[in-house]
């Protein structure tokens, strides 16, 4: 792989597909003008609203989102991750929370259906029951090896709390981990950064974490702080709390250096 610039986009998505795609396009354009070749959009980038609304519009959201991602990839000649959007399942009137990685030719090169669903009652009074509308995926996505960009793995949001998920990917070789998210404001302040750093350090990989931020509807608030983290756990870029982008270099020499200094993956005893 070569060294290149990557961007983690941060959005405040709302229950309006057109507005969200317009916001995403502006931020993609900004990232490309600053030299980014690999761009990630957060979970729920095309729609963040009530579950009933999401289900009602799921077919349209799925079609428009994939078309949008392919158009952006071809127009800007980038590889782009759409970090999670509803794609109708064939049963139970549910959807898959689906992330797509698309190359500069507009081809889908990796697809991942979110495995770990966020069913949690938080102390701040918010209750999340993702499984009420979402079917869990059943497979860890293949690690896609791109000649220039390295070996790229995909996860989505709540997955970041399950280190074994990433360890299985790292056994196949892993240079860059995507963690697109809509992390809650309540948990994000304590856990977002440290979990991302842990996943980067233990897998000696770069982490690119696009994020949602701010208030989206009703009481739904997200943490922000889209980040790019290096294999030593150093935060290279942080988008803060407003919509924007975090941009940093994915440096092949740095990756090799860290793996020489800390060859922990070679020292594993179990698993």
Residue positions annotated with a catalytic role = 43, 114, 157
Name the DSSP letter for residue 181: B
Between CA 129 and CA 68 the distance in angstroms is 28
**What phi and psi, each to the nearest 5 degrees, are found at residue 256?**
-65, -40
**What phi and psi, each to the nearest 5 degrees, are found at residue 135?**
-85, 135
Give the rounded distance of the alpha carbon of 51 from its chain centre: 20
Q: What is the CA radius of gyration of the chain?
A: 17
CA 44, 49, 52, 58: dihedral to nearest 10 degrees?
Answer: -40
Whether the CB-CB separation of 209 and 237 falls below 8 Å is answered with no
- Other CB atoms within 10 A of residue 199 CB: 26
Whether the CB-CB separation of 199 and 166 falls below 8 Å is answered with yes
**What phi and psi, each to the nearest 5 degrees, are found at residue 91?**
-145, 160
Spatial strand order of the sheet with 206-209 comes to 144-146, 150-154, 176-178, 206-209, 227-229, 235-238
Whether the CB-CB separation of 58 and 27 falls below 8 Å is answered with no
Between CA 67 and CA 47 the distance in angstroms is 15
User: In the chain, count of helices (H) and strands (E)?
Assistant: 5, 17
């Amino acid at each position: 792989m070569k060294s290149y610039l990557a961007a983690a986009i941060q959005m405040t998505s709302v229950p309006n597909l057109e507005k969200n795609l317009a916001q995403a396009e502006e931020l993609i354009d900004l990232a490309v003008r600053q030299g980014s070749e690999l761009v990630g959009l957060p979970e729920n980038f095309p729609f963040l609203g009530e579950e009933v609304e999401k289900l009602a519009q799921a077919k349209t959201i799925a079609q428009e989102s994939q078309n949008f991602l392919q158009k952006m990839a071809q127009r800007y000649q980038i590889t782009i991750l759409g970090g999670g959007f509803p794609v109708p399942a064939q049963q139970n009137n549910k959807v898959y929370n689906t992330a797509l990685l698309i190359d500069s030719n507009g081809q889908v090169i990796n697809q991942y259906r979110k495995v770990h669903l966020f069913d949690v009652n938080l102390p701040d009074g918010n209750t999340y029951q993702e499984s009420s509308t979402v079917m869990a995926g059943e497979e860890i996505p293949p690690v896609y090896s791109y000649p220039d960009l390295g070996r790229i793995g995909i996860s989505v949001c709540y997955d970041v709390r399950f280190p074994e998920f990433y360890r299985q990917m790292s056994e196949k070789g892993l240079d860059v981990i995507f963690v697109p998210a809509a992390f809650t404001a309540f948990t994000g302040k304590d856990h977002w950064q440290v979990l991302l750093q842990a996943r980067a350090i233990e897998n000696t990989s770069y982490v690119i974490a696009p994020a949602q931020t701010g208030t989206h509807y009703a009481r739904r608030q997200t943490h922000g702080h889209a980040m790019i983290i290096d294999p030593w756990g150093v935060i290279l870029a942080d988008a803060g709390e407003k919509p924007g982008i975090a941009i940093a270099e994915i440096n092949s020499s740095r990756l090799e250096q860290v793996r020489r200094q800390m060859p922990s993956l070679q020292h594993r005893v179990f698993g």
